[in-house]
Structure 1
Amino acid sequence: MVKYSKEPENPTKSCKARGSDLRVHFKNTRETAFSIRKLSLVKAKSYLEDVIAHKQAIPFRRFCRGVGRTAQAKNRGHPNGQGRWPAKSAKFVLDLLKNAESNAEVKGLDVDALYISHIQVNQAQKQRRRTYRAHGRINRMFSSSLSFLCLYHLRCLVLC
């Protein structure tokens, strides 16, 4: 059994999905994950498919040094309009959403009523390699990886 950093309040009306040690950039994936937070599952999937097709951009908020401006990021509500189209990160997050959708179907939950209540991206252990240099020297090379956690809840509609 794995330990989650946040457990759902009502486990019967929620589902979880996670990935660990994924070979994708942490900073791009963090911005991608935070742009789909609080969205419904259907809207998040269509948004990430648009990002892969370069129809919508991911606004970069925290890790935005050297990121260019685009009107597509400004449309998403970010004031200075810095954004990119991280396709590999969007593909990994989209796979996680599809995994959560299948988990919800197994539990018998309504997929159209699910929304992303909590999404978290953590850095994982760096993978090490060597590169051989001139004059017999050896340098190290690190590649980044990350771990995901996603919680989905049923959105309760209050009828008056």
Structure 2
Amino acid sequence: MRYTYEPRNPAKAVRVRGSDIRVHYKNTYEVCQAIKGMNLKAAETYLEDVMEHKQVVPFRKFCGGVGRTAQAKAFKATQGRWPTKSCKVVLGLLRQAEANADYKGVDAEGLTLTHVQVNEAQRGRRRTYRAHGRIGPYMNSPAHIEFIFEQDDETVEKPTESTRIVKFTKKQFAKRRLHIGN
């Protein structure tokens, strides 16, 4: 299947995706945004902490009616929740990515989550029976999820001296010529 992002080095990248997963799209979006940029192991421990209510998932985009909590201060936010089902599904995808890394021969310790995408899947349609013989919709909002993990690059030391190239504008050159001529 086609992914929406191509890693810089596909040999050192691990991809994983899930389609039509029966979890709330909005909750899953916030969970995935919370772990974006994390190390694979750090993301796993974070999600386990969320399921035990030790840490919170900050709700930034889909935050209407979401209660405030003191745990959200750690993420410079005020609103947050503990979406257990979304965390379980995302944790399963992280473990699948770890298995893919072992199969590919990539070190799982040095993998960082560089690409996250959560899309709305086709909604499921059920019905609920209302008063006076009416029938109302009873929809669910599943999601498609895709992750790409890439190997951390080696850090490059900053040079101690900077060899800065001096560039002059035409006006500065004209002023310099004037000083030299006098």
Specify the alignment match of 2:168 in structure 1: none
Letter in structure 2 aligned against 1:37: K
Q: For each residue in 1:94-124, what CA deviation from the matched residue of structure 2 results, as whole angstroms up to 9, or x when unmatched?
A: 0010000000010000010001001110000
Letter in structure 2 aligned against 1:19: G
Give unmatched runs, 5+ long, in structure 1: none
Specify the alignment match of 1:33 in structure 2: 32
Instruction: Calculate the TM-score normalised by the size of structure 2.
Output: 0.82
1:153 match: secondary structure: strand
Alignment of 1:151 onto 2:148? yes
Give aligned-pair identity as a percent.
51
Letter in structure 1 aligned against 2:72: A
Larger radius of gyration between Structure 1 and Structure 2: 2
Structure 2 distance, partners of 1:149, 1:88, is 17
Structure 2 distance, partners of 1:73, 1:132, is 39
Give unmatched runs, 5+ long, in structure 2: 158-182
Letter in structure 2 aligned against 1:144: S
Structure 1 distance, partners of 2:91, 2:76, is 22
Specify the alignment match of 1:124 in structure 2: 121
* CA shift for structure 1 position 139: 2.5
Q: For each residue in 1:76-99, what CA deviation from the matched residue of structure 2 results, as whole angstroms up to 9, or x when unmatched?
A: 232xx2111111111111001000
Alignment of 1:77 onto 2:76? yes
Structure 2 distance, partners of 1:27, 1:3, is 23
Stretch of structure 1 that moved more, 44-53 or 129-138? 129-138
Letter in structure 2 aligned against 1:6: Y
Specify the alignment match of 2:106 in structure 1: 109
* CA shift for structure 1 position 157: 2.0
Structure 1 distance, partners of 2:125, 2:23, is 15
Task: Provide runs of 4+ in structure 1 moved above 4 Å.
Answer: none
Structure 2 distance, partners of 1:104, 1:117, is 15
Structure 1 distance, partners of 2:12, 2:81, is 34
CA root-mean-square deviation: 1.2
Structure 2 distance, partners of 1:39, 1:70, is 23
1:118 match: secondary structure: strand
Counterpart mapping for 1:3-18 below 5 A = 3-18=2-17
